[in-house]
Every structure is written in structure tokens, then in C-alpha cells.
A and B are shown apart, each in its own frame.
Chain A
Amino acid sequence: MASRSAFSRLVPAITRAQSARSVGARLARGYASQSGHTMTVREALNAAMEEEMLRDENVFILGEEVARYNGAYKVTKGLLDKFGEKRVVDTPITEMGFAGLAIGSAFAGLRPICEFMTFNFAMQAIDQIVNSAAKTHYMSGGVLPCPIVFRGPNGAAAGVAAQHSQCYAAWYGSIPGLKVVSPWSSEDCKGLLKAAIRDPNPVVFLENELLYGVTFPMSEEAMSDNFLLPIGKAKVEREGTDVTIVAHSKMVTHSLEAADELAKEGIKAEVINLRSIRPLDIETINKSIKKTNRLVTAEGGFPAFGVGSEICAQVIETEGFDYLDAPVERVTGADVPTPYAVNLENLTFPDTNSVIKAAKRALYRTN
């Protein structure tokens, strides 16, 4: 429980985020309409919740430290002052209990945003998410819908070791009845969180602690109260013709950096930001494969039975397979419980070089 002191975790996160901040700025060119607006991921998430709470009285947020503390990661900052204790509810440390309570309130017509301080702690509540939230609509023949968002930071943070560094995209991604979103940029976060809150189905919304402080450009549309992104659609962040790199969450940053590096060698990489894990937008992936004939997947989760594994399987099962000129390359987290020591941790999670290396292998380039 000592590791509950999430605040201490903020420090390394912010430090690392600052180094990544420039990434977002450099990416500005990738956006269709330039508005001059920027937002951090944290601000975008906060804005999405505020707008949806203003729009719909039934939307409320509950979780540990979401109200008076302003959120363990400050994502819910200011919401208590704006909406009061009725709609911004601090819970005890009791994940299974408050997840179940949130689901029950969704059965009764509310639209809860259930924040987990991190998704590692949601494992205490995974039965409620899988068995109660995802399945009840089906089991009841449609009598009980479950409009709920489970959100919080997912995946590896920095220096917090095995129990606090795990990606749950594959876990929730395997469950019919759930939608699973893994946003990257501030636009992703705002548009997809708003869509998740309005969706009548249970949505697992996997944020990344290391991205919270990163600033991204925001288009004019994205600044609007009605900016929604469709759940289940990937986004081509960078067009290319030589190799397709499919990534989600923080690995999109590394993939775009890799594409920059590859470009210096004349390799035009297409980078797809998955945005949604379930439904998985296999059409966009296949469309890209038809153009590049080569595929690299990049994720921070464990390799076995992971997001990359699923993409491979779906490509093989669909027309994408016929267009592949090389084996699919998977870039993943290592198959080990996350170690604490910095040098070992560095070997555990992929970085820009891992993606470059895999892309070159897919292109049969050795250097």
C-alpha cells in the first residue's frame, strides 16, 4: 500500500513528460487544421469531463482522491468546485466495491465515470468490469444497459516496478461487451473521452501517466464542446509508402520519432495511431498494408496474447495477409515482470530505437 502514494509517482512522470513535450510540438504539422491552440493531455481529459458534466446531469465521477485532492494525477482538478460533492465523489480505497456501485448506478440510468487511480488497482475490480458491466446487457436480453466509463492511467510509469507497470489493453480487449480505448494525443483524449461518456456501452478508457503532461496542438474543431471522435476508428498520423507502423498510446510517440529517423534514410513509414483497441480498426491497418506491404506493431504491453498478437491474427485472417512481403514484426514490452532498477527497466519497454530496428528488419535492411 505504500505505493499508493501516487503523488510521489507524479514526479518522475512529469520529469519524463517534459522531455517528451517537444515531441508534441513537433507533431503539429500532422494536424489538418491549425488553430494555434494547444492543450496537455491532462487538460484535454479534464475539459472532456467538464463539458460532458455540463451537458448531462446524469454524468458524475467517482474514484479515489478525485474530489478534494483534485485527482491523484490532477486529471479531475477543479471539478469538485464546479460540480459539488454530489457529482464528484471521493471513494474509500475499495475498488471492487466502488466499481460495482458505479455499475449499479449505470443500470439505474446514471452515467458514471469511474476513475481508477491506476488500472493496476482495477484488477481488484476486474470481476465487476468483466462479469457485471460487460455482460449484463447481453444476459438480460437488452433489459439493463450499462453506460459507464472506467478510466485511469494504464501501462508502465517510471520506476514503480512490477505491480504498478502493466498494460491492460489486451485483458479488456478480449472481452465482448466492452469497448476499449487507448488514446495518445490531447485531441484523442478529448474526442474519445467525450464519445466514451456518451456511449451507451461500458468503455474502458486507458490513459497513460507519462503522457499527462505532454502538450499537443488542438485543432479548431477539437476545441468545440461537440468534438467527438468515433470509437473504433484508427488515425493515420503520418502517411508513408514503405512500412506501416501500428501503435497505441505512448508508443505512437516512439513510432513517429522512428518515422522521422527512418525518413533520414529515405524510408517512408506510415504511422497508424490505433486509438481504439476494441473494436480494432483492422480496415485502416489493411488499407495501409496494401500500400506498404510491411507491418510493424508497437505496444508497451506483454508480448504474449497481446495487442500485436491480435493484429497479426486479424491481418492473417483478412486480405492484409495477401499483401505482406515480409513477416509482421512485433515490438512489445519484454516478457518479464517490470524490474525497478533503471537499466533493467530500460530493457523492459520498447523505445524509438526498438521501432526503428523492427521497421528495418521488416524492410530487410540490416543496418
Chain B
Amino acid sequence: MASLARIRVAVPRRVSLQPFARTIQTAADTTQLHQDASHSEPFTVKLHEDSFRGYRTETPSLDVEVTKENLLKWYRSMTVIRRTEQAADALYKQKLIRGFCHLAIGQEAVSVGLDSATTFDDNIISSYRTHPFVILRGGDIKSLIGELLGRVCGVSKGKGGSMHVFTEAFQGGHGIVGAQVPLGAGLAFAQKYHGKKHATFAMYGDGASNQGQVFESFNMAKLWNLPCIFVCENNKYGMGTSAERSSSNTEYYTRGDLIPGIQVNGMDIIAVHQATKFAKDWVNSDKGPLLVEFVTYRYGGHSMSDPGTTYRTREEIQRIRSTQDPIRGLQRYISEWGLASEEDLKAIDKEAKAEVDAAVEEAKASPFPDEKELWTDIYSAGFEPPAMRGRDREEVFRF
């Protein structure tokens, strides 16, 4: 009979299905001052009325309290992250980075905005386009670039590479599309088991959203009321297949069946911050899981080998870069609201560039992992088998 009760609760909320008629807007610079900006006190700004859409739930408030300090911090983080990704791009082209490398240029508002409303006690787990989280959650530029270069200073000692990066506050960094979603549900399960009031953000893309295990995770999370926020980072393309060509329903925030969802302008960091706060409050008040779809855009190709132009037009990319760029949007807020001068921001840019350049040099100077590292971490220390075999019978490592 519990299921009947659930239906009854759900029915009145269908009102919120109405906004389907309108589309989310993804400009990065439509937030307005609600009161005079302050240099020392928090002040309120108002997001564009189409920043959110809701499914079986009300949407977050459009009034957001921000501080100058935070806005400048976010600007700095986004700038550092873009610079770092550009450095990775260059290093890849110099053949210093091997294999796959997926860049999140254009999607900075999602990672920085999400991190801005969480603590290190919350879990974030994602796929393989996750370099920013290393920098944001306990690693640094050097340990990220070091990992991409396969050096011992890397976050995973050079053994994971671009797709497999982890910190104490970021649970990876997973290379199999969609597999991180049930893992995220498991992190949330453990939080609930331990009675902790923290949240898990299980992130995936529009491409992964069609994996069966994503729906399996939705079902268990709802069934067991897990504090899990399923975050669909919709950058419009799963590799080269557009959302419309992969998904019969491209309104990803509505795909959780009984799980409510919100769709969010993922290009405006203030909207991302507000949505993340909303989501954390949601799970912390024992309302069970929530779906959050950040609508964003990837400027580059899927990975370094993809020029990103066979399945979309150069004009499309150019248009979004010039009208919806998340960093430029925040820059405009800061200038227009009189929080910092153009010179101040340029100084931040310069500082970010210097910081990234220095970190790249330091990472390059880091040695490759010791050959012994081939054998460590296969098993937890002290619980290894007596020996592991190398390439032939004489290459045997004894623990």
C-alpha cells in the first residue's frame, strides 16, 4: 500500500510539468542585481526566470545570496581550470600525454559551481571528463598534470592517467561510461548507513544517461531513499551523437520516474551554485534522491582525437563560445556590479596563467614512477599474493 501513498503525493505535483512549454535558457550573463552590490557583505542577485525547470518539484529560488569574495574565487577557479585544460591540450599535442584525454573547456561553471556548494564530506563521483575536480577537491594543478604525464607526482602516482583521477574528496575518475552511477549510489548508501547528513553527487553525461545501470541506480536510490543526487551533465553530445539522436527523451531531469528533477542553466555559475545548494538541502532533509540536469556545452571534441566538427557546425560552437561562455558571463557580473576592475580581473588571469605554467614545469620535472610501482596497489599492502608474474617466467615480483 505504500506505493499508493506515493502516487497520491506525486499527483498534485504534476502542476510543475507545465513549464515544458518553455525552454531553459543557457546564457551565462542574465543574472541581475537585486540590491546594490556590496564589497564586504553578502548581497542578493536574481537569476533569469528560465534558469530552472522542475519535474515533480518546485524549482530553486531565483534569488541568490552571493559575496564578492565568492564570485572572485569562482572566477579565479574557472580561469585556472580552463588554463589547465588548455595546458593539457598543448601537452597532448606535444605527445607528452598518452592515450585518451577529455577536456571540459566550456563546462567550467558545472564543476566550480557544484564544488562551491559542497564540502569535502560530500562525495562527488563522475566519469572521465573530470580534471577540474582534482584541482577543486584536494589535489592541485601539479598533481593533475603530473597524472596526465604519467609522473610519480600524479594524483594516482601516474598509474591512472587522465580518466582515472581520485582525491580524498573526489571518488573518481571512472572510465566505463555509466558505471560510476551505481558506484555513486553505493557511496550514498554508505552515508545513509553511517547516519551522516552528507550528499553524494553521482555525475554522468547525456551519453551515459541511456545505460541500463543508470536506471537501475535510480530505482534503488528511490526505493531506499538514498541521499544521492544524480547529476546529468548534458553537454549536448555523447561523443558525436547529439542528445536528440541518442535519447527518446532529452529532458534528462524527467527521466527518474518517481524521482523529482530540476533542469539548470549550467552556463551560469550562480544558477549552478543555487541548484547545488537546493539539491543538498533536498537530500539532507531526507527527501531521497534528486535528479539535476546541468545544460552546458563542450567546446572541444569528445577527446583529443576528435576535432568535434563532423557532427556539429563550427558556427554552433562559435555562437555558444561568444554568447554563453561561463567565464565571460561571470566576468561581466563582476565588472557590471562594480566588484572588481578590468585590471583586477586581468591580474587574476595573469596569475592563473603563471600558476598553471609553473605547475606544468614542476610536473614535467617529476620523474616517471619507480619500476617497483608496477606491482604496488594491485592489492592492499600486507594482503598481496606471494608473487605476481611479469611478461615471462623470469619476470616475477615477490612481495
Which of A86, A97, A145, A317 has the largest count of B CB atoms less than 10 A from its CB? A97
Nearest residue, chain A, Cβ from B156 = A141
In the assembled complex, the CB of A87 is this many whole angstroms from the nearest CB of chain B, namely 8
Number of A-B contacts (CB under 8 A): 161
Q: Contact: B219 with A110, CB < 8 Å?
A: no
In the assembled complex, the CB of A156 is this many whole angstroms from the nearest CB of chain B, namely 28
CA distance A199 to B380 in the complex (A): 9
User: How many residues of A are counted as interface, with CB atoms below 8 angstroms from the partner's CB atoms?
Assistant: 48
In the assembled complex, the CB of B103 is this many whole angstroms from the nearest CB of chain A, namely 20
Q: Contact: B179 with A131, CB < 8 Å?
A: yes
In the assembled complex, the CB of A250 is this many whole angstroms from the nearest CB of chain B, namely 25
Q: Is the interface of A mostly helix, strand, loop or mixed?
A: mixed
In the assembled complex, the CB of A27 is this many whole angstroms from the nearest CB of chain B, namely 28
Chain A residue numbers with a CB within 8 Å of B300 are none
CA distance A340 to B223 in the complex (A): 38
CA distance A92 to B215 in the complex (A): 12
From A68-76, A101-109, A213-221, A294-302, the one touching the partner chain is A101-109
CA distance A138 to B156 in the complex (A): 8
Whether, in the assembled complex, A160 has its beta carbon less than 8 Å from a beta carbon of chain B, the answer is no
Q: Mark A105-118, 1 if CB is under 8 A from B, else 0.
A: 11111100000000
Chain A residue numbers with a CB within 8 Å of B184 are 104
Q: Contact: B171 with A144, CB < 8 Å?
A: yes
The answer to whether A140 and B223 touch (CB under 8 A), given A94-B216, A104-B189, A107-B186, is: no
Chain B residue numbers with a CB within 8 Å of A279 are 385-386
The answer to whether A141 and B176 touch (CB under 8 A), given A96-B213, A101-B185, A109-B190, is: no
> Which residue in A60, A86, A97, A201 is a CB contact (below 8 Å) of B216?
A97
**Which residues of A approach B to under 8 Å, CB–CB?**
60, 86, 89, 91-92, 94, 96-110, 127-128, 131-132, 136-145, 147, 176-177, 179, 199-201, 232, 278-279, 283, 317-318
Q: Contact: B217 with A139, CB < 8 Å?
A: no
CA distance A99 to B183 in the complex (A): 9
Chain B residue numbers with a CB within 8 Å of A89 are 224
CA distance A143 to B213 in the complex (A): 25
Chain B residue numbers with a CB within 8 Å of A177 are 378-379
In the assembled complex, the CB of A240 is this many whole angstroms from the nearest CB of chain B, namely 25
Nearest residue, chain A, Cβ from B202 = A104
Whether, in the assembled complex, B173 has its beta carbon less than 8 Å from a beta carbon of chain A, the answer is yes
> Which residue in A86, A98, A131 is a CB contact (below 8 Å) of B176?
A131
Q: Contact: B172 with A138, CB < 8 Å?
A: no
Which of B125, B191, B193 has the largest count of A CB atoms less than 10 A from its CB? B193
